[in-house]
Amino acid sequence: MKSQYGTYRVALQFCDGESWRTRMQKGPGKATDTPQGSSCLDILNKGLSYGDGEYMIDPEGNNEERPFVVYCDMTSFGGGWTMCYTTDEFVDMKTELVTTPAHGYRTDCNFIPFTSVIFVDEKSKQKAAFTKNGSAITLHGNYNKNAQTYGLWTPMGVASTQYDYQLMICDLSTYDGIFISGYTRCYKRCNYWCSDGRSPYFRTSSTTKGFTGVAFNEPGYKALPNRLISVGIR
């Protein structure tokens, strides 16, 4: 199925801790043939959750053109998370929608309203989530805006409560992905990180040499090793 970005969706693959798997079957933890909701949170709120696993969603309500399979985390912090990507490097949320074993699952999260973001360290299984007050936003239409646009976010999980947090939704050649970091009296932009070398960062890798690698709950204003993380929204 071709998306509005000129890429094609294929069957979802994800890592079960041992290997990459592709499934499109009915049954517990497996997707049905018809959409069960507009997002994982919508499915949870409808009482249709059968736990973590694959579900069919239709974010825009057009059953003939846009339904696709996603992986839903229905247990972390109350569940309802649509998992957008798993990566240990740079990720392009707008175009990298085709799943490959090297990159983990990819989901077109662009039109799913959300007020919370989750990050999962796939090695340690530590998790951090961040929630905003007020109206939901979408990735689509919000790329590369100043973090002040989205206000301050409240942490859950392993993220330090010493900070409020800020969100950036980036689509640049140097940095792409969902970015969360501590607020230090300076709102960040996708190409300006306030020289913040002390607050906790949650980010994927930049193509800029000084900010390569992946940050999970550590100062990220520097180059870091790669590590496998997953990012989702609800």
Q: How many other β-carbons are positioned within 10 Å of the β-carbon of residue 127?
A: 20
Q: What is the mean pLDDT of residues 15-42?
A: 62
Element at 221 (helix H, strand E):
none
**Predicted local confidence at residue 29, as pLDDT:** 56
Q: Name the band, by pLDDT with cuts 50, 70 and 90, for residue 31.
A: low
Largest CA distance in the chain: 50
pTM summary value: 0.84
**Predicted local confidence at residue 4, as pLDDT:** 39
In the numeric block, the tokens 């040499």 are attached to 209
Element at 43 (helix H, strand E):
helix 40-45
**Predicted local confidence at residue 134, as pLDDT:** 93
Q: How many other β-carbons are positioned within 10 Å of the β-carbon of residue 192?
A: 12
Length of the chain: 234
Q: How far is CA 55 from the centre of its chain?
A: 16
- What gap in Å lies between CA 150 and CA 135, rounded to an integer? 10
Angle at 112 between CA 108 and CA 113, to 5 degrees: 155
* Nearest Cα residue to 110 out of 133, 79, 143: 143
Both tokens of 209, joined, read: 């040499």
**With 0-12 CB in 10 A as exposed, 13-18 as middle and 19+ as buried, what is 173?**
exposed
Both tokens of 54, joined, read: 């694959």
Ordered alpha helix ranges (H), the chain = 40-45
20-24: list long-range contacts, CB under 8 Å, 24+ apart: 20/101, 20/104, 22/99, 23/54, 24/54, 24/69
Q: Name the band, by pLDDT with cuts 50, 70 and 90, for residue 211.
A: very high
Q: What pLDDT digit, counting tens, does each position of 100-114 carry?
A: 444 456 788 999 999
